[in-house]
Amino acid sequence: MPFITTPDGTDIFYKDWGSGQPVVFSHGWPLNSDAWDVELKLAADNGFRAIAHDRRGHGRSAQTWDGNDMDTYAADLAALADTLGLDTIILVGHSTGGGEVVRFAARHGAGRVAKIATVGAVPPVMVKSASNPDGTPIEVFDAIRAGVLADRSQYFKDLSEQFFGINQGSGVSQGQRDQFWRLGMQMSLKAAYDCIEAFSETDFTEDLKALDVPVLICQGDADQIVPIGDAAFKAIDLVKQGTLKVYKGAPHGIAGTYQQKLDQDLLEFWRS
């Protein structure tokens, strides 16, 4: 299996399919690069070089004790881009991965990022605070931490219902729910726990403002994991060259008819 090694000695697993302009995908919590397989094939089938990595602590990458934070995640992505010699990169990030690609582009992407697409992404910031009074209360994220610690396996099985909007009649299959659980159980407990703070409390406001390339911001308006009012609707006002795509009735998880529509829009954006 292909790996790169970051400057701090962490082995990061990645997939590298096809050839052409690179499209680099970053996955959400608690998943790994397998979550992007359909989109990886879509990109490679259409003349792009499709690349996706397992974030440290996730999937097949090293389960480090330290570095489960957004700055390190972005630095790991920079190490991947450096090692593979990537330029004119198209970035695609879902959920936590949306935060990762935005931070990477703002801090490491000058001159080598061509465009960015985010999907149900966490920027600008999720948690409620004095400066973000309509955010999600910290108690919600404390409950996620408690669920992960108490019974991670059952917690992921239960979370898949909201993740895919099963309780809203999305019709997503049991197989998709099982895959969510399977990928989640591959990550380390430490990464699962620490990443909750990374995706909920990191403020990406200045990162979004710094972006100087086209940004496609996609999100379902029935997202129960990352509320669209705190995410896409705010992020679009912070980027210079933004396009907002809202998917009526779509959940957080990328599956079913939502995935089909999203993939059409992503391909059109990559080609534009």
- What residues act catalytically? 95, 223, 252
The two tokens of residue 234 are 């705010």
Asked if residues 160 and 252 have their Cβ atoms less than 8 Å apart, the reply is: no
Asked if residues 147 and 184 have their Cβ atoms less than 8 Å apart, the reply is: no
The two tokens of residue 168 are 């809203």
Asked if residues 92 and 24 have their Cβ atoms less than 8 Å apart, the reply is: yes
- For every residue of the chain, DSSP letters joined together read --EEE-TTS-EEEEEEES-SEEEEEE--TT--GGGGHHHHHHHHHTTEEEEEEPPTTSTTS---SS--SHHHHHHHHHHHHHHHT--SEEEEEETHHHHHHHHHHHHH-TTTEEEEEEES---S--B-BTTBTTSB-HHHHHHHHHHHHHHHHHHHHHHHHHHTTGGGT----HHHHHHHHHHHTTS-HHHHHHHHHHHHH---HHHHHH--S-EEEEEETT-SSS-GGGTHHHHTTT-SSEEEEEETT--SS--HHHHHHHHHHHHHHHH-
Gyration radius of the chain over CA positions: 17
How far is Cα 135 from Cα 103, in angstroms, rounded to an integer? 20
